[in-house]
Amino acid sequence: MKILVTGATGYIGWKLCKRLAAEGYEVVALYRNRQIESSIPNISWAKGDLQDTSGLKVAMEGCQQVYHVAAVARMHTANNNEMYATNLQGTINVLEAAAYNSVERVVYTSSAGVMGKSFEMPLSEGDPRLEPFDNDYDLSKHLAEEQVKNYVRNGYDAVIVNPSRVFGPGIATYSNAVTRAISNYLKYPLFLVPGKGEAIANYVFIDDVVEGHLLAMRHGKAGENYILGGNNLSYNGLFDLLQSITGLHKTKIAAPMAAMKTVARIAAMLQFILGQHPTFTPYLCERLCHNSKLSVAKAMSEIGYQPTKIETALSITLRSLGFKMDSTMVPRPVSGKTLIHSL
Amino acid sequence: MNHTYAVITGAADGLGRSFATVCAKAGYHLVLVDLPNKKLNRIAQHLECAFQVKTLVLEINLCALGAAQKIVNLIRNNDLPISLLVNNAGIGMRKLFEDTHEHFITEMIQLNIAAVTQLAWQLIPLMKKHTPAGIINISSIASYYQLPYKSVYAATKALVRSLSLSLRLELKHTGIHVCVVCPGGINSNATQYLISKNTGWLLRQTVMHPDRVAQIALQKAMQGKSLVIPGMLNRIIHFLGKLLPPFLRERIALSTMKMTCTINSKASAIPLAA
């Protein structure tokens, strides 16, 4: 079977390509600028742009399945409309090409960001947003989801997956921020947590995200969303876990919101002067201090999704970052307070 | 911990949802009102869990005849002590008067004026039993200006402001405090977000987060303020606006409204709902 993957040079996309190839599928990996050097025989590269529908149609020829992973995965872009051009119009174009080629099913990689913040109760797929849309990323992904649902209403087949904060071995892209934080934990004596470190978010292992994509393709219901998440953890909880797994003692520093925002303002100003993308903004600071707890109950019951234990996932990640794990070392049990399971 | 209830209309999104959150945080139990199919029940559950408050949800169209009566029946049947009414539900417009559908205009008047007035009238006797109580009516900074493209909207909001200020005097010694809020731009939903993104720099700076507006409104109402314009920049612009000669004010109003109300999807890749 021939499968097209968009965003194949990205963090999730490349992992997905390798996994599909390992399963014996013939993978058409779509790339924009530079393909990844690899000697995997059943991955073939196709140059293409999401803005070019006719090119997409050609690349998709003979494909039975499409994983639409490509997106601008950041909070801000220099040109405000770029986010909508890629994430929204790009998705419309992919769907059009898929319909044209009678693709059996499209799995669209959205983001748990579209679900917004949570209070104390974890958010599920059917929940309304509890805050307004206030950034282009979330909104562009939400509008793209609407297009996917529309596509299904028109009689085609597509499923939406919503990964939470992804971490694990892989390409170090901008959006791979959690892995970067883990790597910084190993590198530096200090570990910075936003606010008081109490904000709880959902962290998911990259292999689970890839697996979730395959499960959604196989067992998902057309037009449905599936949250691909892992554990709900506070920053303090994540820090405690890293301490107990590695046995390394680092100093945790809580970065007060006001201080973070000041730094962010200065950073944003400097980046503006240097003509770079703003990567750390006051808005992002606030976002980092919101809860975003998620429930993966639906994905577990409907498509058989089974997230990896967080200790295992972190150990694998740490090892991939060059940390020598003592094989005899058993992670110290972490108190129930710090480990808040998603179920 | 407050043991009384706050009635909030239009609670499923935007400013109403923020009021629900802020009131729950302040310890009010909630009666949440909005249209059906807006998942109001789920919002209520999240609020109950986060702030340990009780909630009651009523899914009705406030434009319908007798909607206010339905809310009162729900309150009476459950014997709820009501001490706060947030008259928030409302609809806006960004079209020329002539181009606006007649039905839409009727609905706007029904929701922005009739429902607000009737709900206050119906609930005042009930709130008198649970003083100190309050009514927070949501008007708009638009209520002060002559606004093309928002003609009916601005007029409805002027009524809300006028009604509120008169009511405040009438109810002064009854223990019910009336406060009217006149916010500027609020990032209340996706459309508002996209519109504000495409306006000029100054206007973009005035756009506020609904949580912030709700927080300020509740706090100022509690302090006994009768009229609240949230946001320093909004107050400055409003003050300067009053100093301008009328002809200049009108020109600015016209050009600003033209700019913000004629943004459409053609101008960008952004799909804007009408």
pLDDT tens-digit map of A82-107: 889 999 999 999 999 999 999 999 99
Q: Which tops the pLDDT comparison, A328 or A256?
A: A256
Query: For residue B13, which residues of chain A lie inside 8 Å, CB to CB?
Result: 128-129, 132
Pairing of strands A231-234, A200-205: antiparallel
CB–CB of A88 and B13 under 8 A? no
Closest alpha carbon to A246 in A330, A164, A167: A330
Alpha-carbon dihedral sign for residues A173, A176, A180, A183: negative
Task: Express as a percent the part of chain A with pLDDT over 90.
Answer: 71
CB–CB of B43 and A139 under 8 A? no
Instruction: List the Cα angle B167/B168/B173 in 5-degree steps.
Output: 110
**Which of A118, A120, A132 has the CB atom closest to B210's CB atom?**
A132
CB–CB of A133 and B211 under 8 A? no
Q: Nearest chain A Cα to B52, which residue?
A: A120
Lowest mean pLDDT among A56-60, A87-91, A331-335, B172-176: A331-335
CB–CB of A84 and B14 under 8 A? no
> For A287-310, how does the pLDDT look when each residue is reduced to its tens digit (9 = 90+)?
888 999 999 999 999 999 999 999
Which pLDDT score is estimated for A78?
66
**Which of A127, A133, A139 has the CB atom closest to B42's CB atom?**
A127
pLDDT above 70 for A343: no
Query: For residue B57, which residues of chain A lie inside 8 Å, CB to CB?
Result: none
Residues B40-50 as b or e (16 or more Cβ within 10 Å = b): bebbbbbbbeb
Which pLDDT score is estimated for A255?
87
CB–CB of A133 and B193 under 8 A? yes
Q: Nearest chain B Cα to A121, which residue?
A: B46
CB–CB of A121 and B209 under 8 A? no
Which pLDDT score is estimated for B199?
77
CA A136/CA B202 separation, integer angstroms: 20
- A139 CA to chain B: closest CA distance, Å? 7
Residues 103-132 (A) with a CB less than 8 A from some CB of B: 118-121, 126-132
Which pLDDT score is estimated for A30?
96
Q: Which tops the pLDDT comparison, B191 or A151?
A: A151
| A134 in reach of chain B (CB within 8 A) | yes
Q: Nearest chain A Cα to B47, which residue?
A: A119
- B182 CA to chain A: closest CA distance, Å? 20
- Mean pLDDT in residue range A209-238: 97
- B166 CA to chain A: closest CA distance, Å? 33
Query: For residue B43, which residues of chain A lie inside 8 Å, CB to CB?
Result: 128, 130
CB–CB of A133 and B47 under 8 A? no
CB–CB of B47 and A84 under 8 A? no
- Mean pLDDT in residue range A199-217: 97
pLDDT in tens, chain B (274 residues): 578 999 999 999 999 999 999 999 999 999 999 999 999 999 999 999 999 999 999 999 999 988 999 999 999 999 999 999 999 999 998 889 999 999 999 999 999 999 999 999 999 999 999 989 999 999 999 999 888 889 999 999 999 999 999 999 999 999 999 999 999 999 888 888 888 877 778 888 889 999 999 999 999 999 999 999 999 999 999 999 889 898 888 888 888 888 777 765 444 445 544 3
CB–CB of A130 and B194 under 8 A? no
Alpha-carbon dihedral sign for residues A314, A317, A319, A321: negative
CA B104/CA B126 separation, integer angstroms: 32
CB–CB of A132 and B14 under 8 A? yes
- Secondary structure in 3-state letters for chain A: CEEEEECCCCHHHHHHHHHHHHCCCEEEEEECCCCCCCCCCCEEEEECCCCCHHHHHHHCCCCCEEEECCCCCCCCCCCHHHHHHHHHHHHHHHHHHHHHCCCCEEEEECCHHHHCCCCCCCECCCCCCCCCCCCHHHHHHHHHHHHHHHHHHCCCCEEEEEECEEECCCCCCCCCHHHHHHHHHHHCCEEEEECCCCCEEEEEEHHHHHHHHHHHHHHCCCCCEEEECCEEEEHHHHHHHHHHHHCCCCEEEEECHHHHHHHHHHHHHHHHHHCCCCCCCHHHHHHHCCCECECCHHHHHHHCCCCCCHHHHHHHHHHHCCCCCCCCCCCCCCCCCCEECCC
Instruction: List the Cα angle B117/B122/B126 in 5-degree steps.
Output: 135
CB–CB of B270 and A84 under 8 A? yes
Give the pLDDT band (50/70/90) at residue A233: very high
Residue A2 amino acid letter: K
Strand stretches in chain B, DSSP E: 5-9, 29-34, 55-59, 82-87, 133-138, 176-181, 227-228
Question: What's the whole-model pTM score?
Answer: 0.89
Count of A-B CB contacts under 8 Å? 65
CB–CB of B46 and A142 under 8 A? no
Enumerate chain B positions whose Cβ falls within 8 A of a Cβ in A.
12-14, 17, 21, 38-39, 42-43, 45-47, 49-51, 187-190, 192-194, 197, 209-211, 268-271
Which pLDDT score is estimated for B267?
43
Query: For residue A85, which residues of chain B lie inside 8 Å, CB to CB?
Result: 269
- Mean pLDDT in residue range A222-251: 95
CB–CB of A128 and B270 under 8 A? no
Query: For residue B188, which residues of chain A lie inside 8 Å, CB to CB?
Result: 132
Q: Chain-wide mean pLDDT for chain A?
A: 90
Which pLDDT score is estimated for B270?
53
Which pLDDT score is estimated for A325?
75
Which pLDDT score is estimated for B94?
86
